[in-house]
Chain A
Amino acid sequence: MTAAANAIKINMNEYINAAKEALSMSFIQRALISGIMLGIFSGIISVFIVLRRISFLGSGISHAAFGGVAIGFVTGINPIFTALAYSILTAIGIEQISAKGKVSEDTAIGIFFASSMALGIVLIGLSTSYNVDLHGYLFGSILAITHSDMTATIAMSLILTTVIILITKELHFITFNEELAYSSGIRVRLIKFIFITSMAIAIVTGIKLVGVILVSALLVIPGATANLITNSLFKMIIASSFITLFSIISGISISYLFNLAPGGTIVLIMSACFAAAYFLRKRY
């Protein structure tokens, strides 16, 4: 065996030991479990976000959530709750305004997006206490997930995954054509409300993991990748969840081993999956 190979072997052993050690640490366990739970759920809704062509709404709400986080900082309420309420209201506001037809949806999103960020910046400037974890909300703090964060993520993911699976048939039809779904008696507004609310919850949960700036990637890239590989809704859902899980698990591991930013690593792995699917897909 050559010296180089030996060196690699030693290196590998080091990493395996490091990984073993990491897995026994409870903060890594919490990060992985939360990541896996969120990953299953966001993988599913990513499919519908991509198919409904509302990726931009997803990133608009993620950034708007920053305004909600800032409200939490200023009022002293848990920023996750204010972000959640703020995101849901923003999502509904965007839908309402664009439904009126006077302002197009992308314009409405652009306006909410920017003004919420602006509100966030002003509020954070106002708040005197600088002990707030602004950095954590912007870039994620997956390794600082507490036990109660994890429990909340598990509960949220189980409930919402069930809800979305139960309304998959309706979502599929609405995504296909909203007016047709309406005319056949589907309760379009109710289903859209459930979907948008679920999306907002996923965004706010995702903020903990990868931060405001990157969370929209979780909602867009896996669905878009899945849409490149298959033409079946069921397979798309499976593929999208798988890509999300793979990126989250490998992202957390790699970032820990090489001391990289976890949020960025997760999203880069997702992007690599997308690029691979894009270049390797069968060309008919």
Chain B
Amino acid sequence: MPRITFITVDGERVETDAKAGNSVMEVAKELDLPMLAACGGALACATCHVIVEEDWFEKTGELSEDEEDLLDTAHDLTETSRLCCQIKVSDDLDGLVVRLTPME
């Protein structure tokens, strides 16, 4: 199972073996990490904004136009910002590291 590491706003590292096919947001929610993900993956908010570690960014895939539009409403964006409900866990992402952003 692909291993995924989350780094919380406080700097805590949380690692887990994730089920391929789930979204990274679902993995984070399963771990009960501090993330709102208010719309539950319906592409209607930007509250699952994460910062992907640079080396991994390309592997997380292309951003859709809808995701870009929603990122317009996120703050403190970086070059590797993603909505993690749009990142699908797969074997290619074994080792993925993402940073969470503040909840409110």
Do A and B pair up? The answer is: no
